[in-house]
Amino acid sequence: MVKQQRTALITGGNRGIGFAIAQALAEKFDYHVIIGSRDVSHGKEAADSINGEVSIVEIDLANRQKLSQQIKTITDIYPSIDVLINSAGIYPPGKVLDIDIDTVEDALSIHVIGPWMLVQALVPAMANSGYGRVVNVSSGGGSFASGLAPSYAAYGVSKAGMNALTLQLAKTVPPSIKVNSMCPGWVRTRMGGEGASRSPKEGADTAVWLATLPEDGPTGGFFRDRKPIEW
């Protein structure tokens, strides 16, 4: 019997950690990777540098109306996606009393509302097929135990919201669907800066592990370096 190729949608898959995840799933695991990018031309550049089956879709998580139509287009083309990785993110500075509320809204849209819309659209098909993996690329900055990144209030609050979404979803779906959050650590990306201690490949490792979990793998957890961390 021929093994069915898995399909993975990765938001923010055109650069940084998202790109490293896309590359690993396509090249090491032979997944059909769908790169979600706000700018399709950037997605195409990323796809062209990956050896494997890679497609590109337009996803703008900051624009709810636009995103709703984009999700419909995606599900029309790909009615059954096996893996969803919510990797797109922003890292705006600002403390809770002075940060611009439009910036807060953007962070919530990209880290919580957009991923929530995607799971509502994609997870039912996972349940019907009897297989699914959802990986939310979160952060220690969204951990209550780590202080919620007070100098980056919108980031900390929205990543905490992403973690809450992870738990809510994990408690709702059947055991065949694994839902987890992960923290990549401090990674050399446009967001993390050149002085960061980890490469994108190192930052992506736990997400790739969670995306390819076996049947008896964990669900409803928060991980760094493949080990549980505190919420």
Q: What is the pLDDT of residues 131-184, one digit of tens each?
A: 999 999 999 999 999 889 999 999 999 999 999 999 999 999 999 999 999 999
Q: Is the pLDDT of residue 223 over 70?
A: yes
CA dist., res. 178 & res. 22, Å (int): 19
Cα dist from 165 to 117, 137, 189, 200, whole Å: 11, 12, 25, 25
Q: Which residue has the tokens 């709702």?
A: 172
Look at residue 3 in the predicted model and tell me its pLDDT: 65
Look at residue 188 in the predicted model and tell me its pLDDT: 72
Look at residue 129 in the predicted model and tell me its pLDDT: 97
- On whether residue 1 sits in a domain, the answer given is no
Q: What is the dihedral sign for C-alpha 189, 190, 192, 197?
A: positive
Look at residue 198 in the predicted model and tell me its pLDDT: 79
Q: Render pLDDT for 84-111 as a digit per residue (tens, 0 to 9).
A: 999 999 999 999 999 999 999 999 999 9
Q: Is the pLDDT of residue 1 over 70?
A: no
Which domain does 15 fall in, by range?
Answer: 7-228
- On whether residue 33 sits in a domain, the answer given is yes
CA dist., res. 163 & res. 179, Å (int): 10
CATH number of the CATH domain containing 106: 3.40.50.720
pTM over 0.85: yes
Q: Locate 216 and state its tokens.
A: 């008896």
- On whether residue 2 sits in a domain, the answer given is no
**Domains held by the chain: number:** 1
- On whether residue 184 sits in a domain, the answer given is yes
Look at residue 128 in the predicted model and tell me its pLDDT: 97
